[in-house]
Amino acid sequence: MDIDEDIGDSSPAETPATKMSRQQILTLIAMASINFSSMICYSILGPFFPSEAKKKGVSQAMIGLIFGIYALCTLVGSLLLGKYIVQIGAKFMIVAGLFVSSGCTVLFGFLDQVSDGTVFIVLCFITRCINAIGFSAAVTASFAVLAKVFPDNIATVLGFMEIFTGLGLILGPPLGGWLYQSFGYEIPFVFMGCLLFATVPLNLWILPSFDAVPSSQNSFLRLCTRIKILLICFVVFTLSSGLGFLDATLSIFAIEKLNLSAGSVGLLMIGLSLPYGAASPVFGVISDKYPSNRKWMMVIGGMATAVSFCFLGPLPVFHIRSQLWLTVLMLIVVGFSLCMTCIPTFAEMIACAHENGFEEGLSTLGLVSGLFSAVWSAGMFFGPTIGGYITQALNFEWSAGVQGAIAFLAALLQVIYFTIEDIQKKSQKANRTDRSLSEGEKSPLLPKTDHLRVDVS
């Protein structure tokens, strides 16, 4: 395919790193604040909410569903909002989404006051659903805006943004666990909700407005007819499924099997978030500088993710006892491998869309961003829900092995697809060479001279 050659020139990619316009700088600040505050709010539930919900009479499978419903609503919201991002306006979607999400985060902190059982579960579902719609609006628009402002360096910029995503994921669990142990259930959500709300006036002030014309030709159905797009979507699904699974099940596993406290569980999750955030800018630069290597980054990262999930428990077939050092080591490997796999995916989806006739504009970027967020959310629903069910039916070790098997399947399908693609490219290149040689053989060595008249007298 020509996409590798089209975006393979790395020379223009270095210019924005040293010289950025005012709009680009303001956009970076705005997106960094969204990534950090959203992720710190999202990640505070992991260390203490599952155990708190258990006290309310909620089963492990239902806890997984409470985590998963957030992702399911984000999926629906991302598809709808990504389709109509031009009509709604990217800036309005970001600001309104942050406002709704911050309010729901604060409200979630007061659910411990309601009665146990059904009432608690229903209110958890309602709050999480509304929160998810706001989150999907902000995230879908932010991805599209970044791709619009940084068209030649999207992987590098996303890698830089993932630093703040990683910081939010790093600080969220230990800070949430500490606030929970020190002040109770309400304070973590109130504090984080207020932090998220502070980004509303910030983005309203510094984020530029983006004008665009709607396109009637672009659609999710047309985008999803490309095999490469579907394959990348499956890769994204496996990544988010693994993360969602760990959010819903790791804390209980660490408390029951490794005898850790809620605060220590928050520190344990840093083993996943820290390498992810640290490696993101590196893999982003590599992805933009060597775009032809993106596909193999996704393959190698997927294989490493599969192996690390199998040893996270580890799987009972290995006959290895669960140990803290092994869990920490595998979380570190998962962080690096997920980063290596995730960073190239969005840039590859945009490149594939442009290669197949989608116009270069905010409308296409909104579709790609919406599809990416929707698939990510589908994995975040599948991971906690199915993972929680398998954990309850069997144990954490087998459930982690299932996540590893899904990651391995995605990597294997990529190897098959990219191998066939390379063979077809070589065959087409050989055919073009043969045609050019045959045309060269048919052409006369000397020009025709019939029209020349030579006077020999």
Mean pLDDT of 100-124: 86
**pLDDT tens for each residue of 221-236:** 777 788 888 999 999 9
Query: Is residue 137 predicted with pLDDT exceeding 70?
Result: yes
- Mean pLDDT value of segment 375-401: 83
CA distance 53 to 45: 11
Q: What pLDDT is recorded for position 10?
A: 37
- Residue 408, pLDDT > 90, answer yes
Burial 162-180, CB ≥16 within 10 A → b, else e: bbbbbbbbbbbbbbbbbbb
Predicted confidence (pLDDT) at residue 412 exceeds the cutoff of 90:
yes
Q: Which two tokens stand for residue 439?
A: 């045309």
8 A C-beta contact, residue 312 and residue 334: yes
Instruction: Taking each helix axis as running N to C, give the angle between helix 324-355 and helix 294-310, from 0 to 180 degrees, rounded to the nearest 10.
Output: 150
Give the pLDDT of residue 22: 78
CA atoms of 263 and 177, how far apart (whole Å): 5
What is the pLDDT, as a whole number, of residue 211? 62
The C-alpha atoms of residue 155 and residue 268 are separated, in whole angstroms, by: 28
312 vs 165 pLDDT, higher one: 312
| pLDDT tens, residue by residue, 317-371 | 888 888 888 888 888 998 889 888 888 888 888 888 888 777 777 777 777 878 8
